[in-house]
Amino acid sequence: MYFLILFISCFSFSVALSNSSTRFSLSLNGLWQFRLDEHNSGISDKWFNFDFSADEYIDMPVPSSFNDITVDRKLKNYVGWVWYQKTFMIPLMWVNNKHIVLRIGGAHYYTMWVNNNLAGEHEGGHVPFELDLTKSLPHDVEKCVLTIAVNNTLNNYTIPQGYLVFENDTTRYPSGYKNYYHNFDYFDYAGLNGNVEVYVTNQIYIDDVYYKLERKLKKWYVHYSILLAPTDISGVECTVRLCDKTEVFDVKTGCNNTLQILNPKLWWPIFHMNKTAGYRYKLTITLKNKKGEELDYMEELIGFRELKWDNQSLKINDENVYLRGFGMHQDSEMRGRGFDFVQLTKDINLLKWSHANAIRTSHYPYYKEFLEFADKNGIMVILETPACSLNLFDNQMFKNHKKVLKEIWSNYKHHPSIIMWSLANEPLSNNPDSEGYFKELVKFMRQIDPTRPITFVTSQQINNEKAVQHVDIISLNRYSGWYQDGSKLDIVAYQVIAELTQWNEKYLKPVLMTEYGGGSITGFHSLPSVMWSEEYQSDLLEEHFKAFDCLKTLGFFIGEMIWNFADFNTPEEYIRPGRCAKGIFTRNRQPKSAAFISRKRYASMINAKHCNCEIGLHNFITDC
């Protein structure tokens, strides 16, 4: 759980910042004053009234996770309240007759105050959200003190879950000692991880844009709906244009209408049959009053692509696609899960160098900026919720899960790169209660968005899985040669082919391998290969490649995703050398031996129409 508190005070100053003719924004990224609230007293003691600069504080960069910024072990593993404060200036022209919004790109649980008034709340992590400051700001001041409190404590009903245990074994723990646990296998970085900004619009503004694409032969239709605020406003008109860099293809008026375009350039994945990847058009929305004065203006990039799926395949624009890529984490040295354009750009370039065409946002939604890069570069995305290792399937959790799905869809609905929704990663779907839970959750998500296939990623065995029959595509995590029969490379391909074939035969659905592989310690070499050596990681991948080539000939296998793109931080354990070492890149994005093996593999698949099955497992493969 994270929690947020905000305060603002103001004086006088003038500045002009412009994103468009009607919208202005001010970034609040940079150094903030930061304090720990170890005794959980900040709210009762009204820290939001304090000037942090008058007391001890830590300089904390935003965006970043707070865990790795200092050398304090207590802060690295801290669970509880932390407080941020920043002083900034709001132009006076913003304050009068304007709509003012605080936007936070990513954290977890929030409560906010402005000038001693509670301004709003937000529950849930990773997804950007906004809070309306208009009524909280005075009309004659500009200098603002923003105070935010964040609490990263998870509980049984948060998504993901966490557990705070008060130990009662006094032979091992002093009185009152508590331990904090969670089931997911990555470090739970905390703080203001995303960009923070304030932006302003006129009091009448465009609140949201929704559109649905429809294809009829060679003509495409954009059925759009522009949501305005206030919702009961009259005497205004929307003008919507569909264009590219040089041409306007259609213009319509009205906040609900349909645009048309004949034979548009389609959005294609990267490295797909010599097609142009990531092509997008632009929707421009202009809002004017009766006098013809412009009240608001927005642009939305739109990719024309259509998804179809059946019990054997996934298609984009009526062409089969085969996913090749990685599970990832938003994780880097020092910044933790903090957003960084340098890291983002490097990761995108490494994905392209690897000849990958797809990633899964394991195990939470990624920043909007990542999705925009994926749209632009044609990288297909399986967008996953934060429901990792879910073990509770009652009504309250279902309610919380639906809320997360609605918020995710609201923020990410128009990204053409998102080709699948993953509702959870490795839930305890061997629990009989999970069957009805996921049946209704899939139904709910399909009502929200019928245009994309739905999955959740299972690690259960085929004989005890209770819920996967309700998804469109079976996504499987399995570690043959690592957790299962470690070191036995000679049976990896056999196991993979046998099991994945059984999943398809039982459920008659496409199968996707969302995780496989093993760890390697950088610089550890061995011939013959042994577990944890770079050679073993490479050998293990190549044994899986043999199985995948055979599975592809059967028609139901739609993709392979190595776990993981790069090494990432995990909670401290004696079984790990400081982190999860399954990446084909190191944590600072340098290649291990496996990076070159996978790159060669993925490059060989570009435009390949046939694969070679070299394994004579005729009990499982026909026409191989």
Cα distance from N-terminal residue to C-terminal residue, the chain: 51
The encoded tokens of residue 355 equal: 């000849």
Rounded Cα gap, residues 592 and 581, in angstroms: 11
Q: How far is CA 236 from CA 98, 222, 289, 464, in A?
A: 17, 22, 4, 58
Helix locations, 40-126, DSSP H: 73-76, 92-95
Strands 236-243 and 281-289: antiparallel
Q: Is 426 a catalytic residue?
A: yes
Nearest to 381 by CA among 407, 353, 347, 404: 347
Q: Tell how far CA 456 is from the center of its chain.
A: 15
Rounded Cα gap, residues 321 and 420, in angstroms: 13
Nearest to 452 by CA among 555, 306, 556: 306
The encoded tokens of residue 407 equal: 């918020």
Rounded Cα gap, residues 276 and 264, in angstroms: 12
Strands 307-309 and 256-262: unpaired
Burial grade of 450 (CB within 10 A; 0-12, 13-18, 19 or more): exposed
Helix locations, 486-533, DSSP H: 492-507
Q: Choosing from 426, 499, 515, 534, which is the catalytic residue?
A: 426
Q: Which residues belong to the active site?
A: 426
